[in-house]
């Protein structure tokens, strides 16, 4: 890659074009197949193929939740626009009924770009107010008609405070707002009777944590989100990240402790007057690199996933 290309990607990243967006140019959409996993009698998780999405080699795009039944379908997230037909077909194989609601866990395109596909099928889009505001800003700068399509915008929004509850198909669904974690408009989705919680992207076990400060995320908020998840989840609750493998409550504690340890090590180096490059050279994640699948894989212009994580921690602490 030329120096000019590096500079261009850095400029795009600074203006809100994420590393995952950069990787989309290389996604093999035609090779993505949708896999379906049944977690409860009427609750399913959909995920994309491995190895065809450079931004998410463990599984293309973000995970989708589908609650099916006689009251219609409730969905969590919408995947990429380019595979909308494949996702619709996978949902219809579960249940041919109407898709009534779709909630976004956060703003990133691998979770929201397909919104319009489902809105045009009659789904009501729900999300945090902050998420909708961010999508409106994105639309103002979009270079394609799809990026400016108003059908992709949530029409029912909510803020911080008590969960928003929906009751359908014998299930109680809680949309629980999380303060400025992975992004500034995160939501975790709890299926009370199934004892399943979809936690979005402030936890991931493929690669190091990614906190998108350009879209309002924060290190403190991510830690608060992890604490909230541990509080809400029971000992047998299945936790479903947007990427990576399913976990339970006890898996969050070592993840949180790893973040706190890296934060402490970076803070010490900052106190010694170290620059970002010196902090990266210190390899403060080395104790965890062998335990974090994908932690040393490339993550856009920031270097490896570990480098991106450490750079984010450094920038947050310097502020």
Residues whose CB falls within 8 Å of the CB of residue 280, separated by 6 or more in sequence, listed in order: 303, 307, 310, 311
The domains located in the chain, with CATH, are: 18-256 (3.60.15.10)
Tens-digit pLDDT profile for residues 141-200: 999 999 999 999 999 999 999 999 999 999 999 999 999 999 999 999 999 999 999 999
CA of residue 142 relative to chain centroid, distance = 21
- DSSP secondary structure of 8-76: HHHHHHHTT--HHHHHGGG--GGG---EEEEEETTEEEEEPPTTS-TT-TTSSS--EEEE-STT-EEEE
Provide the pLDDT confidence category of residue 13 given band limits of 50, 70 and 90.
very low
Radius of gyration, CA atoms only, the chain: 19
Contact between 160 and 190 under an 8 Å Cβ cutoff? The reply is: no
Q: Characterize the bridge pairing of strands 156-158 and 164-168.
A: unpaired
Looking at per-residue pLDDT, the higher value among 13 and 283 belongs to: 283
DSSP lists the bridge partners of residue 263 as none
Tens-digit pLDDT profile for residues 207-240: 999 999 999 999 999 999 999 999 999 999 999 9
Contact between 197 and 233 under an 8 Å Cβ cutoff? The reply is: yes
Please state whether the predicted TM-score (pTM) of the whole model is above 0.95: no
């Amino acid at each position: 890659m030329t120096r000019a290309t590096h500079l261009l990607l850095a400029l795009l990243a600074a203006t809100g074009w994420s590393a995952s967006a950069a990787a989309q140019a290389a996604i093999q959409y035609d090779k993505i197949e949708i896999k379906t996993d049944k977690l409860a009698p009427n609750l399913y998780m959909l995920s994309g193929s491995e190895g065809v999405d450079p931004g998410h080699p463990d599984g293309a795009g973000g995970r989708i939740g589908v609650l099916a039944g006689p009251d219609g379908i409730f969905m969590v997230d919408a995947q990429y626009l380019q595979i909308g037909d494949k996702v619709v077909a996978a949902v219809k194989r579960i249940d041919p009924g109407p898709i009534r609601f779709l909630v976004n866990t956060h703003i990133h395109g691998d979770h929201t770009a397909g919104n319009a596909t489902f809105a045009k099928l009659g789904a009501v889009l729900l999300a945090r107010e902050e998420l909708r505001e961010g999508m409106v800003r994105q639309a103002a700068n979009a270079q394609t008609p799809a990026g400016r399509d108003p059908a992709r915008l949530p029409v029912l929004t909510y803020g911080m405070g008590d969960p928003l509850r929906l009751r359908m198909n014998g299930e109680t669904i809680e949309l629980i707002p999380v303060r400025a974690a992975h992004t500034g408009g995160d939501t975790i989705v709890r299926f009370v009777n199934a004892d399943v919680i979809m936690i979005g992207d402030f936890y991931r076990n493929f690669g190091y944590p990614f906190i998108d400060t350009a879209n309002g995320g924060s290190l403190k908020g991510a830690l608060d989100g992890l604490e909230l998840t541990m509080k809400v989840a029971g000992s047998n609750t299945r936790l479903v990240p947007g990427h990576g493998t399913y976990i339970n409550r006890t898996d969050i504690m070592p993840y949180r402790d790893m973040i706190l340890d890296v934060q402490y090590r970076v803070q010490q180096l900052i106190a010694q007057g170290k620059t970002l490059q010196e902090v990266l050279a210190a390899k403060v994640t080395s104790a965890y690199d062998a335990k974090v699948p994908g932690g040393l894989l490339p993550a856009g212009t920031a270097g490896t996933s570990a480098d991106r994580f450490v750079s984010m921690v450094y920038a947050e602490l310097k502020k």
